[in-house]
A and B are shown apart, each in its own frame.
Chain A
Amino acid sequence: MSDAAFDVAGRIGQPWKKPPFIQRRWLRWTLLLGALAYLIAAYMTIEVNWSRVYEGLERGKKFVLAFANPDFTTRSSDIFEGMMESIIMTVASSVVGIAISIPIALGAARNVAPLPVYLICRGIIAISRALQEIIVAILLVAIFGFGPLAGFLTLSFATIGFLSKLLAEDIESMDKVQAEAIKASGARWTQWINYGVQPQVMPRLIGLSMYRLDINFRESAILGLVGAGGIGATLNTAFDRYEYDTAAAILLIIIVIVMGLEYLSGVIRARVQ
């Protein structure tokens, strides 16, 4: 059984190489050299002002040294308040965001939702992802004023884009036959989702939710910079007053909490596999 058109005898004794991804030699080399030339040109446009860097090193040193000597006490009540606000924002926005994300994710999965619903849900996701957190926060602070409400709404909104998209992708790549088997038993749509789809995507949903909780906490530290409440506001004040030791204390707390969340999500994800 040999292929008629294939000349095996001519290939015996010849070395074999994997066929290149781009077949045309000139195109392959043009793309490669072009990309290289662009990279070199791009790096050359980034100017470095060395004398400025030298000056800045001193400030940087102070900042870093503050970490060796963080001041938790002087502004402890501010830090505590900011931290509580951040945690409330994080938890509240994660819960609301995730709760809204789940139906949108179902709608945005082509194998679960009809086309019109799919397009609407994908549209919502696209809008949520296109608007960066800081921009949304500035807008919401303008509407609702300074404080954690704007931060809470911003983070909820951002959670929808993130979680719905990734969850929808997981739903789309689920094992079709398992879901089909549930459908074949005469289950209604809600039962089909609950028995055929949910068990398949649950570990991913939990993993993503934990990850989002972690992101929301970190974001809550940034959002304070534009007045949306939380520990970020406290951090911003500390920087404005050149209180690097207080800032260092805040950053250390953030780092510890993020690491704690990371560890926790690892434990939880291992358990729900």
Chain B
Amino acid sequence: MLRLEKLVKTYKTGDQALKAVNLEIPEGQVLALIGPSGAGKSTLIRCINRLVEPTSGNVYLGDVELTGLSAGMLRKERRRMGMIFQEYALVERLSVMENVLSGRLGYVGFWRSFLRRFPQSDVDEAFRLLDRVGLAHMADKRADELSGGQRQRVGICRALIQNPALLLVDEPTASLDPKTSRQIMRLICELCKERGLAAIINIHDVALAQMFVQRVIGLRFGEMVYDGPPDGLTPDKLTEIYGEEDWEATIEAVDEDDLEAESAAS
């Protein structure tokens, strides 16, 4: 579904953010990308939809190679990749509804979007999505009136209304409290399952990643140093990804968290 081949990103400053990353993600797989700050996680997902231009290498979304596309073709392909941001990245002075509908900009013409006259099907879908995340009653509120968790839900709706095949999720829980973090992660993973979406989730909270995903990629200094199931993250592996630290507590905490989450869910 998504295939990265020898993806390299070297910034103008000379920093090598990605060093020949190869990665293949099958249809419907939710994957967590972990690693220390500056490991290149954010760069990696931004290179996929080319918010950051990769220096070399190829990105295949289905059969389409993305790195060589013209601006117009890239816009078409971006519609198939929904993005969810750290700090939500809602346009704060627009209403919740406008924010959600902005996910359809790739499908509607300028004047329609300028006059906010979206097709009825888009409006219906926006309300359905908002209702799914429990925010339909907030549709006409301004985005900056919402709490952090609510904003991230709107961000999720904005990504999903694109009708994407892939979700690119950049630190979705970085500025949320632990409970809201779990709710958001659970929501993202549920929605991916419902719609059969693949997702790459950047996350620095290892325990949270282990709770929700089927596969974990560990990135260090722009190189993949781990690719496997979440329970394969032993203290040795974590040391390899993050550097020397006492990891026993983190791993134990995960087990407790799991139990707690299950009991909360039931």
| Chain B residue with Cβ nearest A197 | B91
Residues of A within 8 A of B49 (CB): 184
CB distance from A73 to the nearest CB of B (A): 49
Contact, CB under 8 Å: B158 / A191: no
Number of residues of chain A lying within 8 A (CB) of chain B:
22
Q: Does B205 contact A (CB under 8 A)?
A: no
**Is B78 located at the chain interface by the 8 A CB criterion?**
yes
Establish whether residues A195 and B98, one from each chain, have CB atoms under 8 Å apart when the complex forms. Answer: yes
Question: Which residues of chain A are within 8 angstroms of B76 by Cβ–Cβ distance?
Answer: 186
Indicate with 1 or 0, residue by residue over B91-135, a CB within 8 angstroms of chain A CB atoms.
Answer: 111100010001111110010011000000000000000000000
B105/A177 in contact, CB under 8 A: no
Per-residue A-contact encoding for B64-102, CB less than 8 Å = 1, 0 else: 000000000001111101110111011111100010001
User: Known contacts A177-B85, A191-B105, A191-B110; is A186 also within 8 Å of B79 by CB?
Assistant: yes
A188 to B73: give the CA distance in the assembly, Å: 11
Q: Nearest residue in B to A189 (C-beta to C-beta)?
A: B71
Interface residue ranges of A184-226 to B (CB < 8 Å): 184-188, 190-192, 194-196, 199-200, 202-203
B83–A181 touching, CB < 8 Å: yes
Number of residues of chain B lying within 8 A (CB) of chain A = 33
Q: Are A199 and B83 in contact (CB under 8 A)?
A: no
> Contact at B102–A199, with CB atoms within 8 Å?
no
Report the nearest A residue to B76, measured CB to CB: A186
Q: Which residues of A contact B103 (CB under 8 A)?
A: 185
The distance from the CB of A152 to the nearest CB of chain B, in whole angstroms, is 30
Would you call A188 and B75 a contact (CB within 8 A)?
A: yes
Q: Verify if B173 is at the interface (C-beta below 8 Å from A).
A: no
User: In the complex, what's the smallest C-beta–C-beta distance from B61 to chain A, in angstroms?
Assistant: 13
B43 at the interface (CB under 8 A from A): no
B86 to chain A, nearest CB (A): 8
Q: Is A183 an interface residue (CB 8 A)?
A: yes
Return 20 A-B CB contacts under 8 Å, by A number: A175-B92, A178-B89, A180-B89, A181-B91, A181-B155, A181-B158, A184-B78, A185-B105, A186-B76, A186-B79, A186-B106, A187-B102, A188-B110, A191-B110, A194-B113, A195-B91, A199-B91, A199-B93, A200-B91, A200-B92
